[in-house]
Amino acid sequence: MKITLLKKEGRKEVINRVELAEMASAIKNGMIENTVRQTREVYHLMNPHRLGDGQITTQIEGGIKLPRICFVANYQNRKGDWRMPKG
Out of 29-33, 56-60, 62-66, pick the least confident: 62-66
17 by Cβ neighbours in 10 Å (0-12 / 13-18 / 19+) ranks as: exposed
pLDDT at 48 over 60: yes
Q: What is the DSSP string of 43-69?
A: GGGS--EE-TTS-EE-SSTT---PPEE
55 by Cβ neighbours in 10 Å (0-12 / 13-18 / 19+) ranks as: middle
pLDDT at 12 over 80: yes
Count the domains in the chain.
1
Give backbone dihedrals phi and psi of 20, rounded to 5 degrees, phi first.
-60, -45
Question: Which range marks the domain in which residue 77 is found?
Answer: 2-83
* Confidence tier at 75 by pLDDT (50, 70, 90): low
Answer whether 17's CB lies under 8 Å from 23's CB: no
Q: What is the pLDDT of residue 73?
A: 66
Q: What is the pLDDT of residue 22?
A: 87
